[in-house]
Chains A and B, each alone.
Chain A
Amino acid sequence: MTELKKTNRRGVLKGLAAGTAAAATLPLWARYTHAQSAAPIKIGFQQHRTGIGAAYGRWYGRTTEAAAAFINAQGGINGRPIEIVAEDDGTDPKRGAEVVEKFATQHNCDIAFGTLFSHVVIGSAPRAGELKIPYFVVSEGHHVASGGLNRYTLQPGITDVKSQVQAMAPYVNANLGKKVTMIYPDFAFGHDHRDFFTAAMAAQGGEVISQIAIPPSETSFTKYFPKIPRETEVLYHVMVGPAVLTFVKELGEFFGPSAPAIFGFIDSLEAVDIASPGLEFLDGTYFWEGNPRYAQADQSDADKLFREKVGVDANGASVSDPADVSTYAHMFGCWETLHVVKAGMEAAGYAGPGDRAALIEAVEAMTDMPEGIAHPQGAKIFIGKTHQVFGHQYISQVQGGKLARVHSTSIEDTFYPDEVDYTTQPL
């Protein structure tokens, strides 16, 4: 069985048949037959199959299929199996909106789900709101909690960049240094880091002493490094794109052994083997990780099971190919979001599209999400007003070509004042 075969229509039908045949030994499956309707709950998966998000899309797909199979094996949602209807959005905001519309009007999906790239979320959310189809994004963007979207758009399975970035400041300030120079790509993604971290460091009593913006299409960085002030104690970097490896190599050549403390976001090297030749310079440096790629000494049972179900080994790579490194820091969001959808639908007694509003209200009513197989990344707190979940963030250090977790933030570290109350908007 492949990642493509598990929970599409065919897979669900096969699963149902197997479930019926095995009802005597697998009572969970038998629950389908007692449900009022055994018709699958159709989840429209807006997948970055092509375009600039394709590498993430592949792992989001694999995690989504694994989560759906896992939920189905446990009896589905309200006794009904999940069917994933994957549509490629081309990592394209305009197509994203079209895909959401297809889910609502052509495929009769119950919800839309799974978008990562911010510009696709921003392009698609208005259509989801117009069509009144719940749109569960897995994007990290601050656009949900900032109030820029609508009541039908929720982010209950992954934290947003604002909370991630600000939660780094206490550790950086206390352990790495108080004078920070930031190097970031000169567009919205980098600007978010610049603005959120600069404010968060000031709140901690530290200071961002220099902000070095790099043009997005830059492929050589040597000329920017002399701009790093001598008194810099911490270098904060969030470069993305194909030139990241060149950035690291040139950074190593520039500093040699006398580098300041270096802190980065794993987004730069997501799905890249940290032990790759040329990345030796990273040894001893620190990274934010949404979810530790390498299984840690105190690995939870939930993380172990999550890896097993998705087919990822202890190094965060595919069990079928150790070189195929996953997007481990982000993809848990698909797993957790589907579990939130399950919990929400069960709380709402969801029976069909007529209950979509009830589903939104049920999710908005959620607060604590305890760590466990539904939330293998860790415990979380959902804020119904802002439609955004908050959770632990992890700081890891590169040690011998692997990432070892050195700090877990509290959930409170990630909080910021509510910027919107979606619950006041009509459903």
Chain B
Amino acid sequence: MVAPQRSWAHASEQGFVLLLPTDLYTGAGVVAVLLTVLALAVAPRRSALRINATVPILEAKARRAQLSISICSCVIFWLLIWVGLAGPRDPLANPLVLMVWTVFWMGLLTVQGLAGDIWTYLNPFTAPAWLARSGLGWRAPLCLPAWLGYWPALAGFLLFGFVLLADPAPADPDHLARLAAGYWVFHFALALLYGPAWLRRGEPFAVLFRAIGWVGICARSGGRLRLGPPGWQIATGAAPPLSLAVFCVMVLATGSFDGLNETFWWLGVLGMNPLEFSGRSAVVWQNTAGLLLANLFLVLVFALTLTLGQRLAGQGPHLTRGMRLFAPTLLPIALGYHVAHYLPSFLVDSQYALVALSDPLMSGADWLRLGEFFVSTGFFNSKDSVRVIYLSQAGAVVAGHVLAVLTAHAVALKAYGSHREAVLSQVPLAVFMLGYTWFGLWLLASPRF
């Protein structure tokens, strides 16, 4: 790529992956998740809860820092928009494209998911909105209705999914600059109209990053920054509203379709030749339909899973409550797959980003003293290095599922009266997660264009 799509018309990385014993690796991954499920089924209730203990590490007094960083972030954002419009046309030389798809989408979302909420600081809307309120005395004329919940953000996220997966040229600098600028202006205008509530519930990236940040190890809690095991925020936190829960499911569904749409299997469904693929403009409506169907399908399957779990347990939260409780436990899977899916692209595109960082003003500078620097994809050309990359990807997928099983179990223990009911309620969800482990590993191993 540059994201959202990296492709090779010749034998290379994927060629070597096809030579690896991926069936064996997939089986091992599924067994690892199964063992986690079984271990939890017999683990004492107390130890399962204790696993999510946290420790305070810092006083969380960060408002000023947050605003300062947000201002810088906003200035950089608009500089990048300018670079997108006026800079090089080559997407792998244009800093806007590299910042959006490589640094922000591939990199920052991953860091957020591992570390915790850093986006609160980097969000380029926060400081301008605060300045409008505190500096200019702006008062939002409208109130964002509570019944709207997070549905506006969800709609916005689906639109982003469309750009990611179905827009013909998401890496074209000019096009991306217009999209990004339009995005900022649209959401800032709504933030002025509806106040900070829009930035909490309407702006999709704020919601996406907050949700993925729940997987991370750090979070503010009770005025302090606390450190815990990955997923502790989900295991110990309050259930989100239904709209936000559905958002969590859709993060996973969209990420999964991101992988699926590159496979020979998907092109086979579309009746297209993967070796003579006519590019993204040939699959606009097909990928749009696929994205929507994937989201609908996963929400329905997940709802069915929860309903079955409730039936097995004999009692417990009804479907809406179950969705709110358990949907966030899918986020570690989404994060794991995000890491796995983008790792190869990141290895290449981050080199281009490094080059751009060394000369951000395009003045011919070489701040990082890279000298004569040639971007390399040599690590895709040997079986050994491809095995390392593949196993890292597979490891991320399996780790995501193991974490999902752990957090779901902890949530179930809180939601159900007895350990037995909690375990029974988890049987369908465990089957779902085992199936999803297989699916994620199949995606990594299957031929792609």
Residues in chain A within 8 A of chain B (CB atoms): 1-5, 8, 10-11, 14, 47, 49-56, 58, 61-62, 85-95, 107, 117, 119, 185, 187-189, 216-217, 219, 240-246, 249, 267-273, 276-278, 311, 317-325
* A321, chain B: closest CB distance, angstroms: 4
CA A185 to CA B364, docked complex, whole Å: 46
Query: Which residue of chain B is the closest to A244 with respect to CB atoms?
Result: B11
CA A223 to CA B377, docked complex, whole Å: 33
CA A88 to CA B168, docked complex, whole Å: 12
CA A325 to CA B376, docked complex, whole Å: 9
Q: How many B residues have CB within 8 A of the partner chain? A: 63
Q: Which A residues touch B274, using CB under 8 A?
A: 52, 216-217, 241
* Cβ < 8 Å to A, chain B residues 372-386: 372-379, 381-383, 385
- B2 CB within 8 Å of chain A: yes
Is the Cβ of B381 less than 8 Å from the Cβ of A245? no
Contact mask for chain B residues 338-365; partner A; CB cutoff 8 A; 1 contact, 0 none: 0000000000000010010001001110
* A236, chain B: closest CB distance, angstroms: 18
Given A49-B90, A52-B9, A320-B374: A5 and B359 within 8 A (CB)?
yes
Is the Cβ of A54 less than 8 Å from the Cβ of B8? yes
* A383, chain B: closest CB distance, angstroms: 28
* B403, chain A: closest CB distance, angstroms: 31
Is the Cβ of A52 less than 8 Å from the Cβ of B171? no
Q: Which of A62, A90, A278 has the most CB of B within 10 A?
A: A90
- B321 CB within 8 Å of chain A: no
Is the Cβ of B381 less than 8 Å from the Cβ of A243? no
Is the Cβ of A323 less than 8 Å from the Cβ of B379? yes
Is the Cβ of A95 less than 8 Å from the Cβ of B15? no
Is the Cβ of B168 less than 8 Å from the Cβ of A90? yes
Given A11-B364, A88-B172, A240-B9: A245 and B376 within 8 A (CB)?
no
Residues in chain B within 8 A of chain A (CB atoms): 1-2, 5-12, 14-19, 88-93, 168-169, 171-172, 264, 267-268, 273-282, 352, 355, 359, 362-364, 366, 370-379, 381-383, 385, 447-449
CA A324 to CA B376, docked complex, whole Å: 6
Given A52-B277, A93-B278: A88 and B11 within 8 A (CB)?
no
Given A88-B91, A90-B168, A240-B9: A5 and B18 within 8 A (CB)?
no
Is the Cβ of B11 less than 8 Å from the Cβ of A241? yes
Q: Which A residues touch B362, using CB under 8 A?
A: 10
CA A267 to CA B275, docked complex, whole Å: 13
Is the Cβ of A246 less than 8 Å from the Cβ of B168? no
Of the A-B pairs whose beta carbons lie under 8 Å apart in the complex, a sample of 6, sorted by A's number, is: A51-B279, A58-B375, A90-B280, A92-B282, A242-B12, A244-B11
Is the Cβ of A320 less than 8 Å from the Cβ of B376? yes
Contact check: which of B169, B277, B374 meets A321 at CB < 8 Å?
A: B374
Query: Which residue of chain B is the closest to A118 with respect to CB atoms?
Result: B276
Q: Which B residues touch A62, using CB under 8 A?
A: 374
* A49, chain B: closest CB distance, angstroms: 6
Q: 6 extra interchain contacts, Cβ-Cβ under 8 A, other than A47-B90, A323-B376?
A: A88-B169, A91-B7, A94-B279, A94-B281, A269-B10, A324-B381
Query: Which residue of chain A is the closest to B384 with respect to CB atoms?
Result: A277
Contact check: which of A58, A87, A89, A278 meets B377 at CB < 8 Å?
A: A58
Is the Cβ of A50 less than 8 Å from the Cβ of B275? no
Q: Which A residues touch B91, using CB under 8 A?
A: 49-50, 88
Is the Cβ of B279 less than 8 Å from the Cβ of A5? no
Is the Cβ of B168 less than 8 Å from the Cβ of A50? no
CA A245 to CA B92, docked complex, whole Å: 29
Is the Cβ of A324 less than 8 Å from the Cβ of B377? yes
CA A355 to CA B261, docked complex, whole Å: 45
Query: Which residue of chain B is the closest to A52 with respect to CB atoms?
Result: B9
Query: Which residue of chain A is the closest to B8 with respect to CB atoms?
Result: A55
Q: Which of B7, B9, B171, B268 has the most CB of A within 10 A?
A: B9
Is the Cβ of B383 less than 8 Å from the Cβ of A277? yes
Query: Which residue of chain B is the closest to A89 with respect to CB atoms?
Result: B279
* B239, chain A: closest CB distance, angstroms: 41
Contact check: which of B89, B280, B381 meets A276 at CB < 8 Å?
A: B381
Q: Which B residues touch A55, using CB under 8 A?
A: 8-10, 12, 377
Query: Which residue of chain A is the closest to B371 with respect to CB atoms?
Result: A1
Given A2-B374, A88-B172: A245 and B275 within 8 A (CB)?
no
Is the Cβ of A86 less than 8 Å from the Cβ of B18? no
Is the Cβ of A54 less than 8 Å from the Cβ of B7? yes
Q: Which A residues touch B8, using CB under 8 A?
A: 52, 54-55, 242
CA A87 to CA B168, docked complex, whole Å: 14
Is the Cβ of B1 less than 8 Å from the Cβ of A3? no
Is the Cβ of A240 less than 8 Å from the Cβ of B10? yes
Q: Which of A50, A87, A272, A321 has the most CB of B within 10 A?
A: A50
Contact check: which of B7, B16, B278, B371 meets A50 at CB < 8 Å?
A: B7
* A210, chain B: closest CB distance, angstroms: 22
Q: Which A residues touch B171, using CB under 8 A?
A: 49-50, 88, 90
Q: Which A residues touch B264, using CB under 8 A?
A: 217, 219
Query: Which residue of chain B is the closest to A312 with respect to CB atoms?
Result: B374
* A62, chain B: closest CB distance, angstroms: 7
Contact check: which of B11, B88, B375, B379 meets A245 at CB < 8 Å?
A: B11
Contact check: which of A11, A51, A269 meets B277 at CB < 8 Å?
A: A51
